[in-house]
Amino acid sequence: MSTRTLGLLLVCLTGTCFGQAEQALCPRHIETPVYPSIAQIAHVTGKVTLTLTIDADGKVGDVKAVTMESTRLLEPASVTNVRRWTFARPSAAPYKQTVVYDYVIDGSLPLDGPTKVTFDLPERVTIVGSGRSVQTSNSTKKN
């Protein structure tokens, strides 16, 4: 009786595992992204969605970006950053992974303060900038 119960339990557990969708890969190494200065000055915000191809060793190969025209200034920094990441070895390669970089301006941050970055790994990175200002003149009168 206990053998039948154990067998039924194993069949149920195996079926549950095979029925699950493949989960996103865990990053093994990440780099902190930057908010491009020109984008902060121009108060450019938005999302950059990247589709990564990860090889059998967990390295990022091809990166395709989906951005709106208004967020083109943010795309190069996102692509450069994610190319430095490495992931756990996928069960099958090549493996596709999506990562969204969300750029936000927070006017309450100090103008020359550091950028704040939060990671909701493996699928989202939020970069919060201060909306830097530009000093247009640096003139001082000397007599």
Write the pLDDT tens digit of every residue in 123-137.
Answer: 999 999 998 766 666
Q: How many domains does the chain have?
A: 1
Domain annotation covers residue 137: no
Place of tokens 């301006």: 105
Give the global pTM: 0.76
pLDDT of the residue at 68: 85
Quote the tokens at residue 14: 């195996």
pLDDT of the residue at 45: 96
Which residues, including other chains, have CB under 8 Å from residue 62's CB and lie 6 or more apart?
52, 53
Domain annotation covers residue 141: no
Write the pLDDT tens digit of every residue in 43-99.
Answer: 999 999 999 999 999 999 999 998 888 889 999 999 999 999 999 999 999 999 999
Percent of the chain with pLDDT over 70: 77
Domain with residue 96: its CATH number is: 3.30.2420.10
Question: 97: domain range?
Answer: 24-129
Domain annotation covers residue 7: no
